[in-house]
Amino acid sequence: MRNISINKCREVDIKGSLHYTGQGRPRELARIIANIENVELYCNFHGAELKKLEGYIMEELDSNYLKCNATGVRHLGYATSPLDTALETAFSLMTDDETASLDITLPWDHALGLDHRKLKDKTLTLTLSCTAHLKVVESGRPVYDLSPQKKLAIATEYKNIGNTLYKQGTAAKHACAFFKFCDSVKWLAMIGNKEGSEILQDVQALKSQCYNNISLYHLHHQNYSLALSAASAVLNIDGQNVKALYRRAMANTELQNYELALSDLKDALVLEPNNRAVKQQEEVIKKRQAAVSGVYAAAMRKYFS
């Protein structure tokens, strides 16, 4: 029996060998049955505390796979919680009719929907160990057999699922929404400009929406360089996207690239002169610049006095 470990939803480590049986792995969107048994929960703080919380934790994990019985058929790729996203990553590595030992480790805030900025101990993790038997009911069509329109439809569905999850407001749902936006971009990237020329405008518009949402997620999690990159990806498609200009400016502000941030805000105000958020961000930058200048001037006076 192989052991498949998943860390932070999609970092994978596999131990043990799989003897070739001729059985294939499920493709994305395949119809599967996952029978999960021997479920145990661990946390990196004292075991006694975990035992008291175990029932609460199981409920809060919001896992449809743990609630699902052995006859429940699900589509691979439609997970709506971080735990189920990680489980689906493991299932995608298994073959039809395989039984494997799974270890899923998630950050505490992602697993239970807590605000990571309010956690006193940011290193807390939750680990679920179980045995899973996978049955592939329908493996699905290979990517090369799908039309550009079908790929766009899949990407759109992922984006819509992500939007719904993000509106639910918890850290766990935000994390899962982030992966849905990334999956949407992945499917859009499989549509070539030539083969999808008729839908190119729709593809670019959807890609911009997803990258804007990814940028917002990274801003909330203080990953400012990643937020900047995602916003720049939008602006490479649509240089007049005000949301992307504003979010790139916010990222550059936190990275202390004040002149670059002001340049983006200036461009945004040309497009939307009455945008209050953009104007407020300008004031924030000017105050920070003034504070830095004051500290520098005081240091110079002290140095030359």
| 99-123 pLDDT per residue, tens | 999 999 888 766 666 555 555 555 6
| Global confidence as pTM | 0.82
Confidence of residue 60 (pLDDT cuts 50, 70, 90): confident
| Distance of alpha carbon 38 from alpha carbon 259, whole angstroms | 57
For residue 90, the tally of other CB atoms under 10 A from its CB is 22
Residue 113 CA to chain centroid, in angstroms? 14
Q: Measured in Å, how far apart are the chain's first and last C-alpha atoms?
A: 75
| 25-39 pLDDT per residue, tens | 899 999 999 999 998
Task: Sketch the domain layout of the chain as residue ranges.
Answer: 3-138, 143-295
Eight-state DSSP code of residue 118: G
Q: Assign domain 3-138 to a CATH class.
A: alpha beta
Please report, rounded to a whole number, the percentage of residues in the chain having pLDDT higher than 90: 58
Amino acid letter, residue 207: K
Confidence of residue 47 (pLDDT cuts 50, 70, 90): very low
3-state SS assignment for residue 120: coil
Confidence of residue 72 (pLDDT cuts 50, 70, 90): confident
Helices marked H in the chain = 47-60, 64-67, 82-91, 108-112, 148-167, 171-189, 200-220, 224-237, 242-254, 258-271, 276-304
Give CA torsion, residues 17, 23, 25, 29, to 10 deg.
Answer: -160
For domain 143-295, which architecture applies? Answer: Alpha Horseshoe (1.25)
| 179-221 pLDDT per residue, tens | 999 999 999 999 988 877 889 999 999 999 999 999 999 999 8
Average pLDDT value for the chain? 86
Asked if residue 10 has pLDDT above 80, the reply is: no
Fold matches, 3-138 and 143-295: no
- The pLDDT score that the predictor gives to residue 278 is 96
> Contact, 202 vs 108, CB < 8 A?
no
Confidence of residue 52 (pLDDT cuts 50, 70, 90): very low
